[in-house]
Amino acid sequence: MSDETTNDQTQHERQTPPQPPKREHPSTYVVQDRENERELRRLTIQDQMITNGMGGVLPEQPDPTIFQRVLDVGCGTGGWAMEAARNDPAMSVVGIDISQRMMEYARAQAAAQHLGDQVEFQVMDALRILEFPDAFFDLVNLRFGISFLRTWDWPKMLSELLRVTRPGGIIRVTDEEVIHLSNSPALTQFWELFQLSFYRAGHLFANTTSGLTDHLPRLLTQHGCQSVQAKAHALALPARTPEGQAYYDDVEHVVQTTRPFLQKWAGSAAREYDDLRQRILEEMQRPDFRATWNLLTVWGTKPGAPHPTTG
Ligand SMILES: C[S@@+](CC[C@H](N)C(=O)[O-])C[C@H]1O[C@@H](n2cnc3c(N)ncnc32)[C@H](O)[C@@H]1O
C-alpha cells in the first residue's frame, strides 16, 4: 500500500464518523456476490444478444410510443432500459436493481451515451416494495425474473407491478426455458443441473425446462392482468456467427458465476464440475455447434382504463 493511499484513508477516516456495517438482505439471485465483475460483463453480453435476437426491446407491442413512463425491474447493466429510451426520445425509463455495482455501471453508460435525461437507475430490492407511487408507469418490464424470484414471490411481485402501473398500462414479463437445446451433451448436462438447482431453490413450479414459462400466462391472469397474451421466441445460436460467439462468451461466464449456486443445490462435486466446464467449452468450439434458446414474453393490461367518452 502506498503512503499516498494510507494518507487518503487516514484523512477519510478523520472526516467520516464510524458507520454501522451496512445490512443487506441476502440475495435470492443465482449469483450471490452483487459486486461480481464477471457477472456484470456476462449481463452486458447477454442483454444485447437477447434484445437483438428477440427483434428489439418491445417487438410485440404495436405502438411503443404510447409508453411515456417505463420501469425495468432487475435491469442489470441497463441495456434494455437504454435501448428503449434511445428508440423513443419522449420515453423516460427507470431501471432498478439490487446490485449497487450494476447501477453504477448503468449510470455511467447512460451518461456516456447522453441518455442521462431520459433514464435513471436506482438500487432497489424488488422483493420488498417498489418505491414508486400508485399508477405511475405506462409499462413495467421484467426480464429473467427466474434468476431471483421463487414461485412464492410471484404473487407479491405481480401485485406490486400492477400497483405502480396506471389503469390501461402494460405488465410485460419475459422469461426462458431453462434447458437450451443444443448438440453439445456437456452443455445439456449443465442446463439439466441448472434446472434441478432452480427447482430445488424454488424458482420453478415444476422440474421441467418450462417450469416457469408454462405458468406465466396463468400467473398474470390470476393476479389481475386482463387480455393476457404471449409470444414465443426461439433464438438460433450457431457457431461462427456473432450470436454464436456471444452465446459462447455468456456460457463461459455463467458456468463460473453460478458455480456456487449449482454446487449448493445440485451437489455437483468440484472436480466433476471442472471436467464438465472443460467439455462444454470444447464442444461449443466445434464448427458445427448450434443451440436454440427459447424465450416467452407474456403481457397483460392493468384493468380500469377509462373508456373514451362518446358523443
Ligand atoms: C439475469 S439478470 C437480468 C438483467 C436484465 N433484466 C436483462 O434481462 O438483461 C437479473 C438481475 O436481477 C437483479 N436482481 C436480483 N435480485 C434482485 C432483487 N431482489 N431486486 C432487484 N433486482 C434483483 C440482479 O442483480 C441482476 O442484475
Indicate if ligand 1 lies below 6 Å from the C-beta of 127: yes
pLDDT at 112 over 50: yes
Per-chain mean pLDDT for the chain: 92
Residue with cell 411503443: 64
Indicate if ligand 1 lies below 6 Å from the C-beta of 42: no
pLDDT at 266 over 50: yes
Residue 270 has a pLDDT of 85
Domains and CATH numbers, the chain: 32-301 (3.40.50.150)
Segment 215-233 shows an average pLDDT of: 98
Residue 27: pLDDT band (50, 70, 90) is confident
- Of all residues in the chain, what percent carry a pLDDT higher than 90? 86
DSSP conformational letter for 91:
-
Instruction: Please indicate whether residue 59 or residue 15 has the higher confidence score (pLDDT).
Output: 59
pLDDT at 150 over 90: yes
Q: What is the CA(150)–ligand 1 centre distance, in A?
A: 13
SS3 category, 298: strand
Residue 253 has a pLDDT of 97
Most informative mutation of 32, 41, 75, 105 for ligand 1 (most atoms within 8 A of CB):
75
225 strand-pairing partners: none
Residue 307: pLDDT band (50, 70, 90) is very low
SS3 category, 1: coil
pLDDT at 2 over 60: no
pLDDT at 208 over 90: yes
Residue 269 has a pLDDT of 85
Residue 119 has a pLDDT of 98
Three-state SS string across 120-145, please?
Answer: EEEECCCCCCCCCCCCCEEEEEEECH
SS3 category, 296: strand
Indicate if ligand 1 lies below 6 Å from the C-beta of 162: no
DSSP conformational letter for 209:
T
Indicate if ligand 1 lies below 6 Å from the C-beta of 148: yes
CA torsion 118→121→125→130, rounded to 10°? Answer: -20
Indicate if ligand 1 lies below 6 Å from the C-beta of 98: yes
Residue 25: pLDDT band (50, 70, 90) is low
Segment 12-38 shows an average pLDDT of: 72
Residue 26 has a pLDDT of 76
Indicate if ligand 1 lies below 6 Å from the C-beta of 172: no
Provide φ and ψ at 290, rounded to 5°.
-150, 150
pLDDT at 308 over 80: no
Provide φ and ψ at 276, rounded to 5°.
-60, -45
DSSP secondary structure of 60-106 = T-S-GGG--EEEEET-TTSHHHHHHHHH-TT-EEEEEES-HHHHHHH
Q: What is the CA(218)–ligand 1 centre distance, in A?
A: 23
Most informative mutation of 30, 44, 97, 172 for ligand 1 (most atoms within 8 A of CB):
97
SS3 category, 63: coil
Segment 258-277 shows an average pLDDT of: 92
pLDDT in tens, 67-103: 999 999 999 999 999 999 999 999 999 999 999 999 9
* Cβ atoms of 149 and 202 closer than 8 Å: no
Short-list 75, 132, 138, 145, CA closest to 109: 75
